[in-house]
Structure 1
Amino acid sequence: MSTTERPRILVVGGGYVGLYAARRILKKMRYGEATVTVVDPRSYMTYQPFLPEAAAGSISPRHVVVPLRRVLPKAEVLTGRVTTIDQDRKVASVTPLVGEAYELPFDYLVIAMGAVSRTFPVPGLAENGIGMKGVEEAIGLRNHVLEQLDKADSTQDEDARRKALTFVFIGGGFAGAETIGEVEDMARDAAKYYPNVKREDMRFVLVDAAPGILPEVGPKLGEWGLEHLKKRGIEVYLGTSMDSCVDGHVVLKNGLEVDSSTIVWTAGVKPNPVLSRFGLPLGPKGHVDVGADLQVKGTDHIWAAGDNAQVPDLAAGKEGAFCPPNAQHALRQAKALGDNVISGMRGFPQGKYKHSNKGAVAGLGLHKGVAMIVVGKTKIKLKGRLAWYFHRAYHGMAVPTWNRKIRVFADWTLGMFLKREVVSLGAMEHPRGEFYEAAAPVTAAAAAKAAAATEPDKADDKVDSKGEKATAS
């Protein structure tokens, strides 16, 4: 961490908003005008719309993330967590990955902490659930699913086999529908290489408390997506939720009970809970309360945007409407926020954020998808292969930096000519396991040998002691 007499703009969070806001500020800022500091527990930004494809093996996990230090070479990037903020002193408490926590002074503050998985007190969820908020979870899910196929192909225990081949997904929004579509696609392809596993042996279950799936693309396309998943053999249970999943035994409110080794939780998101310790005005759902200029209400030096803020949706034209938490708004809010930070630092008026929805796209596996594209006042609805092309084109161009765009398109191009990889790298989750098994017995044997070497000396001491006593008598 560098010390500077220049004003410090502290960006809390290196996700979509944090990355793009910092880039915008650095681009608009005059040389030496301020120091931009970005603090995040990870040294990279994750492009979350690509997580389902990363889980299916269509995109390399490394191409889904963007290294902050490479993209923000003129910024100060600190890997750690901001735990508290003292607004009166303008000081943030930072806990690094190693070492003691320290205080970091700031003059301007950007809150871009994003969201975390929204969970409920479901028995067994913490122990058995798999989230889909990070690239680690996506690659972990891929390895886990393929490992279940390995188990099912090798065992003669029918109960264990049935449990391994049952996959339960909770949540039918973008994340849930896209993930189950991609994973089912991958499992269907992988089954060709397992002599004892067929697609008919697998059971995919999608659960949602809402009456439909994919609400972001509208009811008609959502209904098409629902029927499409059902035609692929995916069981969909709407208007219900999961009561418990202790030891993989899933119990739904509608009475259905299944045993599953794979329980994927994608039932929405919520603002980062640490926001409650920052002393900022929060909305009823825990979002930072900001105005249309993205400035936190009641302050003149703090801004917020993205999933952790409730931003008024001026384009909706009605009171109380807020922008939905998606990448489309996050990108544009970040740029508007960056401009407003520069304006605020120079004493100029703040601009208001206003953006009309341009539509939504979703992929449901290879060559399958839905898309709603808004052109003026016209909504164009697409489904199937054409919608899938729009899905890939939009997100391929939206992923940050040309470096990542080229790598992602290269992955897709290679996928057209090469078969999908279906190898499980489950050991990645415990990379030291094999070495530990090799080293532990050797270490234990050495310890036992050392202990044995000291035993004769102790025995001799006892004999000598007895011998002395005998002579004395």
Structure 2
Amino acid sequence: MTPRVVIIGAGFAGYNAARVLTRKHGRQVDVTIVNPTDFMLYQPLLPDVAAGIVDPRHAAVSLAATLPRARLLPGVATAVEIDRRAVHYTDPDGRARQVSYDRLVIGVGAVNKVLPIEGSADYSHGLKGIPEALYLRDHIIRQVELAAVAETEEERRARLTFVVVGAGYTGTETAAVGQLFTRSITRRHPHLKARWILVQYAGHLLPELGPYLQRAAERTLRERGVELRLNTSVAKEEAEGVLLTDGEFVAARTVVWTTGVRPDPVVESFGLPTTHGRIRTDEYLAVDGHPEIYAAGDVAAVPDLLNPGEPTPMTGQHAERQGAVAGRNVAASLGLRTAKPYKHHPLGFLVDLGGAKATADPLGIPMSGVLAKVVTRAYHLYAMPGNRVRVAVDWALDALLPRQVVRLGLVSEDAVPLDSADPELPRRAGR
């Protein structure tokens, strides 16, 4: 019988595992994907979606169109029955179902990291998915519209203040493109001026990058008027704003929380060995003690062969490449090819700062400005497995035409809690 490979999750890791298996061995294995949606989300485009630059559909790569030999089971995985080699999942109608496997690849990814800070789960939003990006876009437009008719100067200033917590890739890009977005909105209201604040607990932005790229990003943000609060964090959050650890209270109605991610807590129910919530694997991505199960991406603690004793970082580049290696090694375990250890050679870092600005170090060559922007967008078009022309057209139209500023009202606040792993998390009244 044709061996069945079940893949849980269709993020960077799960998608690329399925891609390798279906393209190289589509007639020799039966590939089944368990995933809540019928698309792979290209997460680096989420700040552009939130700023109205890229159509949300174009950041979603269709599984049916790009993985035609894979079978999709819509649903959320809830448990893995290791002895019986079965995955239990809940379908969109809430019915409990299961699927058996000969080989299993786990790539469920990560969720927002919620820190134990009073009020953060009640009043903040992350930026991990399309619903969050759509909500944030509508919320920003709504705050500007309400500021235009505010009865007091205090309310106007609070509605025009936008706080981003965390200056990694997502936080820095969100503050950069967000500031340009509010500038385009307030053109219709000349008396209004938005204030963006980027809060970072470390002494510099983008801690993963070198000093040159950090300084270039900081310079661009400061020139645009984004306030950088370095060596600072949030002590408390409430409906009227945030209290910073330096003692200042910032009146605001918008807080975007991008302080990091954590492995999807569903893996705790799988009964597999973990380290800090990540499934332990060997350098071939096989789970410790379970050679028929593989894990890749943010959910996997894969040994970093370039930094012995450490797991690979939770980044999109690692997830994408680990997924491809997992697909290869699953095929090898079935006798279809030879296994390969995961050894990552960094291609560099890319940070899109909106407009004509970016900072990047492709292949270790640091650059900033327009050239970095061209390299950054070219890389994203190369890395995307679909929708390249649509995304390129979105970027071109944004450069040539005024941005459309309308609230669609498709996503409510209650639908996008900060802890995206727990959609039932209670929330207080919206701002």
Q: TM (normalized to structure 1)?
A: 0.84
Of 32, 36, 43, which residue of structure 2 is paired with 1:41?
36
Of 200, 208, 217, which residue of structure 2 is paired with 1:216?
208
Deviation at 1:150? Answer: 0.6
Name 1:459's counterpart in structure 2: none
Deviation at 1:170? Answer: 0.4
Deviation at 1:137? Answer: 0.9
Secondary structure at the aligned position of 2:371 is classed as helix
Would the aligned equivalents of 2:131 and 2:411 in 1 still touch at CA under 8 Å? no
Of 153, 159, 177, which residue of structure 2 is paired with 1:164?
159
- Going from structure 1 to structure 2, the CA distance change for 1:30 and 1:148 (only over 3 Å counts) comes to closer
Q: Which runs of 5+ in 1 are unaligned?
A: 432-473
Separation in 1 of the partners of 2:410 and 2:81? Answer: 40
- Per-residue deviation, residues 413-470 of structure 1 (Å, max 9, x unmatched): 2223212222232x22259xxxxxxxxxxxxxxxxxxxxxxxxxxxxxxxxxxxxxxx
Separation in 1 of the partners of 2:16 and 2:141? Answer: 35
- Which one-letter code corresponds to 1:120 in the other structure? L
Name 1:17's counterpart in structure 2: 13
Name 2:237's counterpart in structure 1: 245
- Going from structure 1 to structure 2, the CA distance change for 1:223 and 1:253 (only over 3 Å counts) comes to same
Of 331, 347, 351, which residue of structure 1 is paired with 2:340?
351
Separation in 1 of the partners of 2:97 and 2:133? Answer: 33
Name 1:26's counterpart in structure 2: 22
Would the aligned equivalents of 2:135 and 2:412 in 1 still touch at CA under 8 Å? no
Separation in 1 of the partners of 2:223 and 2:190? Answer: 24
Structure with the greater alpha carbon radius of gyration? 1
Deviation at 1:347? Answer: 7.3
Of 261, 264, 271, which residue of structure 1 is paired with 2:263?
271
Would the aligned equivalents of 1:369 and 1:383 in 2 still touch at CA under 8 Å? yes
Aligned residues: 413
- Which one-letter code corresponds to 1:290 in the other structure? T
Secondary structure at the aligned position of 2:366 is classed as strand
Q: Which runs of 5+ in 2 are unaligned?
A: 414-431
Would the aligned equivalents of 1:205 and 1:234 in 2 still touch at CA under 8 Å? yes
Deviation at 1:338? Answer: 0.9
Separation in 2 of the partners of 1:23 and 1:113? Answer: 16
Of 377, 394, 419, which residue of structure 2 is paired with 1:411?
394
Asked if residue 302 in structure 1 is aligned to residue 293 in structure 2, the reply is yes
Deviation at 1:335? Answer: 1.5
Separation in 2 of the partners of 1:399 and 1:347? Answer: 27
Would the aligned equivalents of 1:153 and 1:195 in 2 still touch at CA under 8 Å? no
What is the root-mean-square deviation of aligned Cα atoms in Å? Answer: 1.7
Of 68, 71, 87, which residue of structure 2 is paired with 1:73?
68
Asked if residue 139 in structure 1 is aligned to residue 134 in structure 2, the reply is yes
Deviation at 1:21? Answer: 0.9
Separation in 1 of the partners of 2:5 and 2:151? Answer: 61
Name 1:282's counterpart in structure 2: 274
Show the 5 A alignment for 1:181-200: 181-197=176-192, 199=193
Asked if residue 93 in structure 1 is aligned to residue 88 in structure 2, the reply is yes
Show the 5 A alignment for 1:55-134: 55-134=50-129
- Per-residue deviation, residues 108-153 of structure 1 (Å, max 9, x unmatched): 1000001111111222222211110001111211111111111111
Secondary structure at the aligned position of 1:359 is classed as coil
Q: Which has the higher contact order (CA 8 A, sep 6+)?
A: 2
Name 2:374's counterpart in structure 1: 389
